[in-house]
Chain A
């Protein structure tokens, strides 16, 4: 069988490395019975098109933020929620399709309601706030235009930051930051480096408010069309690569901090007075108010070791 694997990641991103290495490993592990053709960089369309493509089967599999699957089952966005994981390793454990109760519960809904199954995940790093001035607590962002990914969850989170959520396309982000249309944004460091946001941003606050874990999902019919052995082989490969992605991200996080300092950014951690609690409290409150359905899942996630 040949699987068409689409994603929107660009050259050099962890997710792109994950997809291409997983494709090679799957071919090897299944003795060539299953081949995976990867289409990176939105070649087969943007996020919404990719998700719907996997639903209907024109695309066999893909990966993206859990929240992108909210168009099928809204609760799946909980895995993107800010401040719900203790650390990166726990984030990976809580999103394990083979062991996490919360994920398995939601996966059942995805399969029955959308014909889509989560079969793996990618750890892409923690998301941090960058800005053109010093940010230590939500007070520094109060009523300032801040870029929000145009999804409910982000809008809610940015409100929790105290800022005014303002949607901006990724392609316009550097320009919008330069001109002041928005005064700050949040992303993994790898994105800040790859898109040269350091040219238009002076500060980065290591809030790590979100652990960016991407869901790897497959069209259920295509999945069931594979032999049991091949499914087991693919599951094994994706688990190995998930652990590998955690290592890549952890290793590169330190390098990236050094790199960003090297190009002149001021990095703010708790040592420099970053008040994480001041962010955590209002953000979680806002999320709880806007997404009451998340509560039981958040509890389940907290129990994962």
Chain B
């Protein structure tokens, strides 16, 4: 019965039924056929959102929208452009670095690409980069943001597995920085070889200074958030709220660009994104309950543990499963449906749950970029108006740094767990 439910969901999903209904339809069928009280439908769907960590989701989406509308994103871009525009790759480097902060803020990896990615591709094309390269840089860099704070995928992961969200957010910092460095090197090599545009000269100290001054308050937003959480001043959810007020403060008092209309528009956009994402969280809670009653996770755990109990082997299996899931599902959906099944046997066999979280989210993101399905590929090629073939050709070299990072994340748990170690 459990397998039947999963197959029905996948068929509906592929047929283009909105994800929330593709999940709910088989679940309702099950409840009615098995004679469970229909109150179960109401209870699971409503209670799933009775979660303080998930409150961070709308607030981070709000912060992201607000930053875009009130000129905060612009200033960070301009500063980065002044600083590294002369470096080989120029604006491509800016593109990669800005994803570190901004990607992971919307709750759906695809929404990051659709929002921020659109701006980045436009900017690069205006500067004379070829469309396929711009698209490839954008797609590849969007992978890394969700393991660097702020990150809604990690918050969702923590809330389904009851793993410390602070530790998850902190654990991603080092691997994300390594990945960004590798991506930047790749972009530099490619742009030197193909003589891509870059600024005519390095900036003077004064130019850096005058770009830094307006960008500084904006750059401090993630610093405020990370240090506040590490110092115990606030929880991840409160960190989101503090960041939101900070951004409102600097964009209204320092930048003086925030208007009531901005505030209203970004709030309305936030409401819709939040509802579209969290309604899936609600539906998945019902689906997950049924799978649990049908013993699907338990059976799966037994099966996995008969294959091996070696944590390294198990991690490789987890890699494969998350990678495949990422090819078909968006990050939030995949986290909700796949993680509760995979995580328990792994943790039982001794895999650190925080480590597993970083492995899972990074894999899901890379999966989004992998043919034949790779949802992110479709979206990026559509935004950049290039064919999938052109995109894949330009993207090919970027798989190297991504796979290397994946290897590092998988096989060097000490590196991942080094920073959170200070919080244990």
Asked if A and B touch directly (CB within 8 angstroms), the answer is yes
CB neighbours (8 Å) of B158 from chain A are 171
Most chain B beta-carbon neighbours within 10 Å: one of A4, A172, A181, A196: A172
CB neighbours (8 Å) of A176 from chain B are 232, 235
- Pick from B37, B50, B164, B233: contact of A56, CB under 8 Å: B37
Stretch at the interface among B4-12, B38-46, B202-210: B38-46
Contact residues, B390-424 vs A (CB, 8 A): 422-424
- Pick from B43, B47, B167, B424: contact of A200, CB under 8 Å: B424
A172 with B232: CB separation less than 8 A: no
CB neighbours (8 Å) of A200 from chain B are 424
B235 with A45: CB separation less than 8 A: no
| Binary A-proximity of B226-239 (CB < 8 A = 1, otherwise 0) | 00011111110000
Known contacts A4-B293, A49-B44: does B230 contact A179 (CB below 8 Å)?
A: yes
Complex alpha-carbon distance, A43 and B232, angstroms: 30
Distance to closest chain A CB from B106 (angstroms): 24
Contact residues, A44-85 vs B (CB, 8 A): 44-46, 48-49, 52-53, 56-58
Complex alpha-carbon distance, A172 and B424, angstroms: 11
Distance to closest chain A CB from B224 (angstroms): 15
Interface SS, B side: helix
- For the complex with contacts A39-B293, A44-B293, A179-B423, 17 further pairs of A-B residues with Cβ separation under 8 Å are A39-B292, A42-B162, A49-B43, A56-B37, A168-B235, A169-B52, A169-B53, A171-B158, A171-B162, A171-B163, A171-B165, A174-B424, A175-B164, A176-B232, A178-B422, A178-B424, A199-B424
Complex alpha-carbon distance, A56 and B47, angstroms: 15
B40 with A172: CB separation less than 8 A: no
Distance to closest chain A CB from B339 (angstroms): 14
Complex alpha-carbon distance, A25 and B272, angstroms: 52
Known contacts A58-B36, A172-B166, A175-B423: does B43 contact A53 (CB below 8 Å)?
A: yes
B424 with A58: CB separation less than 8 A: no
B167 with A175: CB separation less than 8 A: yes
Question: B162: nearest residue on chain A (CB-CB)?
Answer: A171
A172 with B43: CB separation less than 8 A: no
Closest 4 CB pairs of A and B: A179-B232, A181-B232, A180-B232, A171-B162
CB neighbours (8 Å) of B235 from chain A are 168-169, 172, 176, 181
B297 close to A (CB within 8 Å): yes
A174 with B40: CB separation less than 8 A: no
B423 with A58: CB separation less than 8 A: no
CB neighbours (8 Å) of A42 from chain B are 162
B348 close to A (CB within 8 Å): yes
Distance to closest chain A CB from B56 (angstroms): 12
B300 close to A (CB within 8 Å): no
For B, the interface residue count at a CB cutoff of 8 angstroms equals 34
Complex alpha-carbon distance, A169 and B166, angstroms: 12
| Binary A-proximity of B23-58 (CB < 8 A = 1, otherwise 0) | 000000000000011011001100100101100000
Complex alpha-carbon distance, A49 and B49, angstroms: 12
Contact residues, A172-190 vs B (CB, 8 A): 172, 174-176, 178-181
Distance to closest chain A CB from B415 (angstroms): 20
Contact residues, B287-324 vs A (CB, 8 A): 289, 292-293, 297
Most chain A beta-carbon neighbours within 10 Å: one of B43, B165, B231, B422: B43
B40 with A58: CB separation less than 8 A: yes
Contact residues, B231-271 vs A (CB, 8 A): 231-235
- B interface residues (Cβ-Cβ under 8 A, vs A): 36-37, 39-40, 43-44, 47, 50, 52-53, 158, 162-167, 229-235, 285, 289, 292-293, 297, 344, 348, 422-424
Complex alpha-carbon distance, A144 and B232, angstroms: 14
- Pick from A46, A56, A172: contact of B165, CB under 8 Å: A172
A194 close to B (CB within 8 Å): no
CB neighbours (8 Å) of B36 from chain A are 58
Known contacts A170-B162, A171-B164, A178-B423: does B47 contact A58 (CB below 8 Å)?
A: no
CB neighbours (8 Å) of A255 from chain B are none
CB neighbours (8 Å) of B422 from chain A are 178
A-B contact pairs, 16 of them (CB 8 A): A45-B44, A46-B47, A48-B47, A53-B43, A56-B43, A58-B43, A171-B163, A172-B164, A172-B235, A178-B232, A179-B166, A179-B232, A180-B231, A180-B232, A181-B232, A181-B233
CB neighbours (8 Å) of A181 from chain B are 232-235
A285 close to B (CB within 8 Å): no
A11 close to B (CB within 8 Å): yes
Question: B420: nearest residue on chain A (CB-CB)?
Answer: A175
Question: B52: nearest residue on chain A (CB-CB)?
Answer: A169
- Pick from B52, B234, B289: contact of A45, CB under 8 Å: B289
A174 with B232: CB separation less than 8 A: no
CB neighbours (8 Å) of B292 from chain A are 39, 43-44
CB neighbours (8 Å) of B164 from chain A are 171-172, 174-175
Question: A171: nearest residue on chain B (CB-CB)?
Answer: B162
CB neighbours (8 Å) of B162 from chain A are 42, 169-171
| Binary B-proximity of A23-52 (CB < 8 A = 1, otherwise 0) | 000000000000000010111111011001
Distance to closest chain A CB from B143 (angstroms): 26
- Pick from B39, B229, B289: contact of A44, CB under 8 Å: B289
B37 with A57: CB separation less than 8 A: yes
Known contacts A44-B292, A179-B423: does B43 contact A52 (CB below 8 Å)?
A: yes
CB neighbours (8 Å) of A175 from chain B are 164, 166-167, 423-424
A53 with B163: CB separation less than 8 A: no
Complex alpha-carbon distance, A57 and B36, angstroms: 8
| Binary B-proximity of A2-23 (CB < 8 A = 1, otherwise 0) | 0010000001000000000000
Question: A196: nearest residue on chain B (CB-CB)?
Answer: B424
Complex alpha-carbon distance, A203 and B163, angstroms: 25
B40 with A53: CB separation less than 8 A: yes
CB neighbours (8 Å) of A43 from chain B are 292, 297
CB neighbours (8 Å) of A52 from chain B are 43, 47
Question: A173: nearest residue on chain B (CB-CB)?
Answer: B164
CB neighbours (8 Å) of A180 from chain B are 231-232
Most chain B beta-carbon neighbours within 10 Å: one of A41, A53, A168: A53
A45 with B47: CB separation less than 8 A: yes
Most chain B beta-carbon neighbours within 10 Å: one of A11, A174, A179, A199: A179
